[in-house]
Each structure stands twice: as structure tokens, then as C-alpha cells.
Amino acid sequence: MPTPIKLYHIPPSPNSMKARIALAFKKLPYEKIPVNPTDRSDVVRLSRQPLTPIMLHGETVVYDSEAILRYLDANFKDTPSLLSENYEEMRSIEQWETFARYELRQPVDIVFREFFATKRDPDAPAQASRMLDEMTGCIEDQLIQSPWLVSDRMTIADVTAAPYVYYGMLPREAVESSPVAKFFAQSLRLGKNREKTRGWVERVMAYDR
């Protein structure tokens, strides 16, 4: 019998999305355990830190979304890989990861802060949307050459980057189900001339169902 997998996650979190996408892509069954953002005691008990997602594979605890993605590739070798055996491709994957983690997340973080702010900045939505539009320019250029960010298949580069861009193009069903999503739809929009980027995000996010 396979060792059970449990994922402690906050559903709208881009980092939690990454883990769910990877698990679905690899067709690994798992139990989803939602975490209340205001009560992370279970997360702390399991991992001695408060951040999500947390994955339990039997008695093994893995935290940090990038660590979870690598753990899945290293320990489930009979599933499709999200990494690459090619050195140059791996370097490119890591460069896109860094870009997503430190650049693409900035406009999303701005809007998240505005949602919870007691006094909102009226200029923040336009600033965040402008940043997202500028930052996705290199993604659009890359997708002209290839259907994915690295090579001809989905990798960790796509899994890491797409959830941030997704917040600039939320579908109607997501907006109607969440006050946070509704605020994002009003505050952060992916600009014009990003058709390849939109199609790419939809292909990646199709695994988060």
C-alpha cells in the first residue's frame, strides 16, 4: 500500500498552488488539509515554523514549496519529472524560479497587503498591474519560442511562475467564490498582448483542480 501523503495548505496561496499542481501533474493521491491563516498551530507543531505548505509523506515532513517540488521528483521516480537531467536546462529552471520568487510575486504581494490594510493606497492597483505587465514581457517572449519556459515540457519553472501571473487573470468562478479573489480581480489585471502568457497559465493551472 502506498505511503499516504497529506498536504497542509492555504487554498489561495501561490505557494500552496505549486504543491497541488505538482502532486496532480504526477498523479499522486493525497489528502488536502486546509490551514486557517489565523491559527497555524498544527503547522508549527509539525515543522517548527509557521509557513505553508507542509507535506507529510508518511513520517517525513517537508516544508517550503520549492523543497516539496524537489522532494516529489527525487522520491517518485516513476512519475513524470519536473526537473531536467541536462545541466543547462536545470540552470535555466533555477533562474526562472528566482525570477518568480523575487520578481513576479511583488505585484501579488502589493495587492495582498492592500486587501488587509486598514488604509488603502489608491495608486497601488495601477502600480501592481503595471509591474505585472512589465514582468511578464520576458515570459511572453520566451513562449514565442517554446510552449513552456524551459524545454518542450512543463517543469518546476512553470509550476513556480504561473500561480503568480494567475492572480492577474482570475476566472469568474474564482472571483465569485472569494472576497480576496474579487479584490484581486478589481486590483490586478494582466495587460494586453499577453495571449501566449494567458494560454500558458491556463495550461499550468488546469492541474490545480
Q: Which of 74-88, 150-164, 171-185 has the lowest mean pLDDT?
A: 171-185
Question: With contact defined as beta carbons under 8 Å apart, do 188 and 167 qualify?
Answer: yes
Considering the chain, what percentage of its residues have pLDDT values greater than 70?
Answer: 100
Q: Is 28 exposed, middle or buried (CB count within 10 Å of its CB: 0-12, 13-18, 19+)?
A: middle
Name the residue among 184, 127, 155 with its Cα closest to residue 13.
Answer: 184
Element (H, E) at 54: strand 54-57
Q: What is the average pLDDT across 77-98?
A: 96
Q: What is the average pLDDT across 88-117?
A: 95
Q: What is the average pLDDT across 120-134?
A: 94
Q: Looking at residue 180, what is its pLDDT?
A: 85
Q: What is the average pLDDT across 6-26?
A: 96
Model confidence at 209, in pLDDT bands (50, 70, 90)? Answer: confident
Residue 34: all three cell numbers together? 486546509
Model confidence at 18, in pLDDT bands (50, 70, 90)? Answer: very high
Model confidence at 171, in pLDDT bands (50, 70, 90)? Answer: confident
Name the residue among 38, 75, 37 with its Cα closest to residue 53.
Answer: 37
User: What is the average pLDDT value for the chain, to the nearest integer?
Assistant: 94
- pTM, to two decimals: 0.94
Q: Looking at residue 178, what is its pLDDT?
A: 82
Model confidence at 172, in pLDDT bands (50, 70, 90)? Answer: confident
Element (H, E) at 33: strand 31-34
* Domains along the sequence of the chain with CATH: 5-75 (3.40.30.10), 87-205 (1.20.1050.10)
Q: Is the pLDDT of residue 165 over 80?
A: yes
Q: Please state the length of the chain.
A: 209
Q: Looking at residue 7, what is its pLDDT?
A: 97
Q: Is the pLDDT of residue 173 over 80?
A: no
